[in-house]
Structures are given as C-alpha cells and as structure tokens.
Structure 1
C-alpha cells in the first residue's frame, strides 16, 4: 500500500472512531452529581405545586446521587441570570421546575453552553414536557433524570421590534398574529387561578375583537401574505392541541403554519378542525418547512409575536434556527427517545 493510501485509510478510521465516540457520549453521559435546580415559586398554583413538592423532588434526586441546589426565581428575567450563573460555576446540570415561560428564560441563559438541561414540569401548559412525554408529577419526573440521555439540539431564535438586540431563543414554538395578541393580553392572575383555561378564554375574546392585520412572510424561495404564522419546533401547541405535527426538535428547521384568512367567521370554523387534528385540510392554511423567515407588517395595526407562550415584541421579526445550541436531557421513556 502506498504512503498516500495508508494515510487516507488512517484518516477515515480516525473519523469513524470520533463519530462512534460522540455517539457513545451522547447515549452514556457521565453520572450527574451537581445540579442547580431553578424553581419558579409562582408556577403551578393552579396545580397546587409548592415548595414541599419541590423538596420531595430534591430528595428523589439525592437518592440517585444528584446533589441539587435550589435557586428560586424572583421576577421576570431572573431565570436567565440564574442559568448564566450555572454556566459560570460550571455546574454539571441545570434542572428547571416551572412552566414554559420559566423554561424559556433558562434556555436563554444556557444557549450556546454545554451544560445539560432537565425539566420538572410545574406550569400551566407544559408544552415541552408533553413533547418529551414527561409525567406531570414532578417527583416522578425527577426519578427519570439520572437515567436520561443527553442530546444536542437546535433552538429557534427571533429578533423582533420591541426586543433587545440579542433577540430571544425558544424551544417549542413561535407565533405572530392572533396567538401573539392572545399571549400578550392573557390575565396573569386568572392564569394563576384557572391555569390553561385562561388562554382559552382570552383566545375566544381575541376572536371577537382581533382585526386580523396582514403581514408579509418572506422565505428563502417565496413570499406571501398571512394573518397568522406558527413556527413550530414541537408537535404540541398548548393543552391537548397539536398544530405543527411534523415538527422535529432534533431537526434543523421549523414546520410552519401560514394562514391567509382575514375573516372572523373563518377562524371560528377552524376551531373544530383544530380540535380534530384536521387543519391540514383547511382552506387558506398552508404547512411548509423553513430555516429562516422574515415577517413584515403590511397594515398599520401592530402584529404581536409570542415565543413559548410568552410575549416577544412585534413585527417586523426574523425567525431562524440556531443549530447545536443546547444539550437536552431526554428520559428513557420519552417518545422522542427513538431519535436519540
């Protein structure tokens, strides 16, 4: 064999070894011993989840050898700062006990780092917890963390008017149009009291008052008008609803829903289709895939943006995929396990 052929074979063998090593590390992480448990004390009120339940979850973690320091949030944005603290302190894991809003804050503090993220669902909608198939009992969810597999995933990112120049990352989904208006207007006290029903009530109210301003959606190879866009990284949307059912949190794109309807009665007609999972057959609705989206207002009325069920400014906005941005702890029982 020539020297050149020998070197080529050596390079190929090395590459295969590196690939196998990465796969092994992905499936068999070192035991986690030190974690920061970020807890939102105001989350879970509608489900009667309080400090006592969190302490029981910590005991479950301790029995698995995971020492967790409790770090309660104390207001908007504190979840991100606590996550950044975990990065500075080189913690082995960050565990979030809260809802999708708290989870989103923590993701924005961890994005780009190598620290794994695990979840104890304690919020209202728990969209991402549903995607992972996590039990809503936080003690049961805690019992799955030590045996989880670690997986690098991409995140969604939005830059929008009204946000700072850094923009915002998101795990599950983003939207602009009536759902952005609903998220912006939902009553927080009512949400704390009745949970996800607060979104349903505000959603029906918006259908009565929303004016459906149009905006332009610019994709890589086309441009169109819409009154609603959903950019999904997860199949689940909220409650029992699934919209972007072909989205994949391990993929590097969004599944998009674009709606061009501008009449109130048409949106009311979509409700039974949504409940029955039949939106793909509706007129004036399209599903497609994209990695970058630019949305610009056409009408004078503002079009509001939401990410992971939290307000995120208004149009114009740019949505994109941030590849290889987060390490996620995926339980062995997760329906997403097959993708690992």
Structure 2
C-alpha cells in the first residue's frame, strides 16, 4: 500500500476491548499519514461489526481495532464483502496479531499498516457455521470463557485469565467425546479438545509449533490427563506448541472433524462462546486477505 495512494479505510474500534479507549490522535495520525482516508464507524444498538462492514462495501479495506473477539465478529462481513483486513491490536491477548507478526503496540501497528501488503488469502476455521481465526475449544477453555467476564478481562487482562483458569482447573473433570475424522471414529476421555487454525491462543499458548494461518490444515489436540495437576507439567510444552509429543495428548492434522458429546457442551471460538456440541469443524481455504508482514517475519 503506497503512501501516495489515498485509500478509503473503514475503521471500526471496539470501545469495549481492553485497550479500546486507548485509540486516539496518535493512531489516527499514523493511519492518515500512511495515505488512508478514514471512515470511522462503530456498531449501533443491535448491529454487529460484520453488519457495519456489509454496509460500507465501497471502502478499500477494513481496519479492526480490538482483540480476537472483535476480529471474530468481523469475519462474516469480511468473507461476504471480500474486503481485506488490517489490525489494530487493542484487546487482552491479541493472539491472531501475534500469529501473523503484527506489533503489539497499537501505534506502531498503525504506522506499519501502510507498508504492509494484502498477502494471499489466509485460511479460517468454521464450526457449526461459526467462523474463527485462531482456535475453537470444548471443555476447560470453554468453561473459562463462560466464567471470565468482559469486565474482568478488561480490568485484569492476562492476570484475569490466570486466576480464573487456576480456579476452574482444580475442579475440572474428564468428559467423554466421540471423534469422526479422516474415515475413522474414536472414543476419548478428555479435559479439553481444541481445533486450531492459527498458532497462538489463550494469551500465548501455541496449538502447534509450526502452525500457520495459511498451511491448509487444522491442528487438533486433546488433553487426556487423568488428574488436573498433571497438566502443570505440560504447561511449558503447551506454550511452545510441542505438547503432541506427550502420551497424555492426542494430536493430528486434519481438514474436517466432528466432535460429539453425551450432553451438549459449549464451544469457544476465539475466546467467545458461539455454539454447542455436536460440533462440526472444517477448514475454509483462502478465506480472507490480511495486511500483515511477510510470512518469513512471523514468530
């Protein structure tokens, strides 16, 4: 995106994101200096971020200021309009921004948007018709999302995740799930099932160490520890994305998997509760374009 070319950029900032109120003159100036004509909109009443995008199809790109939940809310609008996405990381975890190598500082991210290219389209995950960028989970992470309120995330950030996670973990129990994938059916006992499209989730955990958002696969894993305290020894591997080496972890790449449970269980997509089991996960190849650094610069 050259600085001499004025482009109409739809700018949507989520004021409820942890750092949403931090958006101000510095960020606006950086974007305009980069050659962008800003069209600033926020969802009104019952509008969603996707509704706003669908109403501004004549823009050249969409800039979303918020966290992973805000990006998730924009996914449908981006898919339907074909508009490329640029990101201002204003949320609690900003896992997708980290996955694609966007700076954590919002002002620096705004400065760099002008120098990024809209790369070849990235993949998205989908579960029961709900899109996601990073990871969808059933079990422990979904219960965490249920109990960690927006107010707590905004006030405490990653510390809030850790406090609530520890409390839930100590009372978590295994549940039975049935997997259908790649021509086979499996019965498992698990603490959590996760299906990743990106690399990072949950404030810095890694689904799989080599995962990218354009690798043409979903990364499945199941935590099959029989006592919660055994998960503590797995934590370093979960952060590095090397947990598939452990006997207590079932992991495999796929493009489609169905997870059934005896009773309906919530599904967490990008930190938001979106649907329930049975959960039909599938990969959507080359779904949307994103302004981001060269893939070789990814962490």
Scaled by the length of structure 2, the TM-score of the pair is: 0.90
Structure with greater proportional helix content: 1
Q: CA RMSD in A?
A: 2.5
Q: Which runs of structure 2 are paired with 1:1-340 in the superposition (5 Å)?
A: 31=5, 33-45=7-19, 50=21, 53-74=23-44, 78-87=48-57, 90-151=58-119, 152-159=121-128, 167-226=129-188, 227=190, 228-275=192-239, 278-297=242-261, 299-300=262-263, 302-332=264-294, 335-336=297-298
Distance of aligned partners of 1:247 and 1:31 in 2 relative to their CA distance in 1, 3 Å threshold: farther
Are the aligned partners of 1:207 and 1:268 in contact in 2 as well (CA < 8 Å)? no
Report the Cα distance in structure 1 between the residues aligned to 2:44 and 2:252, rounded to whole angstroms: 40
Ranges in structure 2 where 5+ consecutive residues have no aligned partner: none
- Summarize deviations over 1:283-313 as a string: whole Å, max 9, x none: 221221100010000x34x422111111122
Other structure's SS at 1:154 match: strand
Other structure's SS at 1:248 match: coil
Are the aligned partners of 2:27 and 2:107 in contact in 1 as well (CA < 8 Å)? yes
Report the Cα distance in structure 2 between the residues aligned to 1:230 and 1:242, rounded to whole angstroms: 11
Superposed displacement of residue 105, structure 1: 0.4
Other structure's SS at 1:111 match: helix
Other structure's SS at 1:44 match: coil
- Summarize deviations over 1:163-207 as a string: whole Å, max 9, x none: xxxx21111111111111111221222111111222222211211
Distance of aligned partners of 1:32 and 1:314 in 2 relative to their CA distance in 1, 3 Å threshold: farther
Scaled by the length of structure 1, the TM-score of the pair is: 0.79
Query: Bigger CA drift: 179-188 or 273-282?
Result: 273-282
Superposed displacement of residue 77, structure 1: 5.7
Are the aligned partners of 1:32 and 1:93 in contact in 2 as well (CA < 8 Å)? no
Are the aligned partners of 1:246 and 1:255 in contact in 2 as well (CA < 8 Å)? no
Report the Cα distance in structure 1 between the residues aligned to 2:73 and 2:176, rounded to whole angstroms: 30
Other structure's SS at 2:229 match: helix
Report the Cα distance in structure 2 between the residues aligned to 1:243 and 1:94, rounded to whole angstroms: 27
Report the Cα distance in structure 2 between the residues aligned to 1:68 and 1:225, rounded to whole angstroms: 52
Superposed displacement of residue 32, structure 1: 5.6
Report the Cα distance in structure 1 between the residues aligned to 2:92 and 2:71, rounded to whole angstroms: 12
Report the Cα distance in structure 2 between the residues aligned to 1:73 and 1:268, rounded to whole angstroms: 41
Query: Bigger CA drift: 276-285 or 59-68?
Result: 276-285
Query: Bigger CA drift: 193-202 or 220-229?
Result: 220-229
Superposed displacement of residue 96, structure 1: 0.4
Report the Cα distance in structure 1 between the residues aligned to 2:187 and 2:160, rounded to whole angstroms: 30
Number of equivalent positions = 296
Other structure's SS at 1:251 match: coil
